[in-house]
Amino acid sequence: MAERIQVDLDAFVTHEYPKVVAAVGLITGNRQDAADAVQDAIVGFLAKPPAREITNVAAWITVVASNRARDLQRSRGAESRAYAKVGTDDESYDSALAGLDIDVLKALEELPRQQKEVCVLHYLLDQSVEQVAEGLGVSTGTIKTQLHRARKALAARLRKEDHHG
């Protein structure tokens, strides 16, 4: 199993890492802490692999890193809000989000955390409904419901933006 974990992790770092960092930044609204949270999740994955077999390393690390990043935000309080307002030039974050329209990004940021999380995992990371459900530890029905609600909210927001243009 240790060899499989290494192979899965190598593939993750090679192909998924920048997208997962961008996803965590988008989910949490704090891209400065996203890379650190992803790296902490990787270290945790290696130090104490999950008891159950993880077939989707990217989704698992995204969820763990998002939770860690939110914990860090809560502990920092006012300081984290100040950091969130300060932009930095992170090319991997920007390049992973380069294909998204600015109005879509703004609309995503306004979604509730759970809807934002499933949208990012499903659409940005190209995870199937089943993979997202597994990564979040919920049923596929829950994911489908969250995606439906998110699409409805995004459509309403984007229609509103289009009219105010």
CB atoms within 10 A of CB 152: 11
The domain spans of the chain are 2-164
Which of left, alpha, beta for 101 (phi over 0: left; psi -120 to 50: alpha)? beta
Vertex 66: Cα angle to 44 and 135 (nearest 5): 75
Write out the chain's pLDDT in tens, 165 residues. Answer: 455 556 667 888 888 899 999 999 988 887 888 988 999 998 888 888 788 887 888 888 999 999 988 887 777 665 545 545 655 445 555 666 666 778 888 888 889 989 999 998 998 888 999 999 999 999 999 999 999 999 999 998 888 766 555
CA–CA separation, 36 vs 101, rounded Å?
A: 26
State the first-to-last Cα distance of the chain, in angstroms, to the nearest integer: 53
Beta strands in 24-113 (DSSP E): none
Per the document, the length of the chain is 165
Burial 37-57 (b: 16+ CB within 10 A, else e): bbebbbeebeeeeeeeebebb
